[in-house]
Amino acid sequence: MVAGWIAETEAVEQMRLDQAITKVPRRLTEEEIAAMATKLGDLRNYSTAPIRRTRLVRASSSAYV
């Protein structure tokens, strides 16, 4: 009876550990970072003007975005 409870508890904990390990994000390789940088291009080419806030009117309230 105790042995079955121990086995079940260990199995549950192993599942939790396995799930936690798979949630850890992996690090990007140098090649992946270089590809992202190339795809983004030169950020100096983009406008540096501030984004204008526009008013959104909702049925129950209003907000600025």
pTM to 2 decimal places: 0.34
49, part of any domain: no
3-state secondary structure at position 44: helix
pLDDT at 42: 72
pLDDT at 31: 94
pLDDT at 51: 64
Task: Show the domain range for 19.
Answer: 1-41
Residue 30 predicted with pLDDT over 90: yes
37, part of any domain: yes
- Nearest CA to 53 among 44, 64, 42? 64
- Please state the domain count of the chain: 1
For the segment 19-48, the average pLDDT, to the nearest whole number, is 80
